[in-house]
Amino acid sequence: MVFVFDLDDTICETDAYSEYYINKFFKENNWNYQQIAKVTRFAEAKFNWPNEMAKAWYKKYGDEMMLEFSCKKDAIKTINTLYDNGHKIIIATARNYDWHSNPEEITLQWLKNVGLKVSKVYIGRVDKEIVCENEKADFFIDDDISITKKVSEVLNGKGKQAFLMNSDFNQTQECPSNVKRVSGFKQLMTEISKYTDELKK
């Protein structure tokens, strides 16, 4: 079967770690930007700094930070087991050169560092619904509500499903009707095993 996974805040802990790093660099630079929100779609929006400044910061420190991201509980074990059992594991991340200095090299290095087994990686401004169509995905997992909704519309056919991975941001948002919300990788596997006998073993 074909699995397409998002990376940030689906497999790795991006938002919380980014917030920590933003605060760290505010301190180092004696910047006085204030935190104006606790939960936003992206960490930089939690602070009252100009977008250009946030972008410049990310360009400078984002690569270093991304290499330090930790994985969500059971992510590696779950995905590597699927891979070892012959399933196709595709990563589709929207990391791009607008915000990142070196998204491709850093992402591939991080995957190697954490030991995640993957069949294919899409990095950049790719439409994930097109990736899922082209790759004939069976399952799609992402923390973004609008993306999971779009993908769910192309995952036609019995036994195919888009999942919304719980995050601080999306947990207060409504999950689209044909998308299933999961709290983590353990629940994801329980849900997926309902679709296929192959995964019940």
User: What is the C-alpha radius of gyration for the chain, rounded to an integer number of angstroms?
Assistant: 17
Q: Minimum Å distance from CB 81 to Mg ion? A: 22
**Residue 172 in 3-state DSSP?**
helix
Nearest-angstrom CA–CA distance, 196 and 184 = 19
Stretch binding Mg ion (CB under 5 A), from 5-13, 74-82, 168-176, 177-185: 5-13
Q: Minimum Å distance from CB 12 to Mg ion? A: 9
Residue with Cβ nearer Mg ion (16 or 199): 16
In 10 A of CB 186, how many CB atoms? 13
> Which single residue is written with the structure tokens 């595709």?
90
Strand order in the sheet with 88-93: 120-123, 88-93, 2-5, 139-142, 161-165, 179-182
Query: Applying CB under 5 A, does 15 fall inside the site for Mg ion?
Result: no
Stretch binding Mg ion (CB under 5 A), from 3-11, 31-39, 59-67, 133-141: 3-11
User: How many residues are given for the chain?
Assistant: 201
Residue with Cβ nearer Mg ion (119 or 146): 146
Residue with Cβ nearer Mg ion (145 or 192): 145
Q: Minimum Å distance from CB 156 to Mg ion? A: 24
Query: Applying CB under 5 A, does 6 fall inside the site for Mg ion?
Result: yes
Residue of minimal Cβ distance to Mg ion: 8
Query: Applying CB under 5 A, does 129 fall inside the site for Mg ion?
Result: no
Per CB under 5 A, which of residues 138..157 are in contact with Mg ion?
A: 143
Query: Applying CB under 5 A, does 8 fall inside the site for Mg ion?
Result: yes
Residue with Cβ nearer Mg ion (138 or 143): 143
CB neighbour list of residue 109: distance below 8 Å, 6 or more residues apart = 67
Query: Applying CB under 5 A, does 9 fall inside the site for Mg ion?
Result: yes
Tokens, residue 4:
């397409």
CB neighbour list of residue 27: distance below 8 Å, 6 or more residues apart = none
Q: Minimum Å distance from CB 43 to Mg ion? A: 12
Stretch binding Mg ion (CB under 5 A), from 54-62, 111-119, 135-143, 171-179: 135-143
Tokens, residue 200:
């019940």
In 10 A of CB 8, how many CB atoms? 21
Q: By CB under 5 A, name the binding residues for Mg ion.
A: 6, 8-9, 143
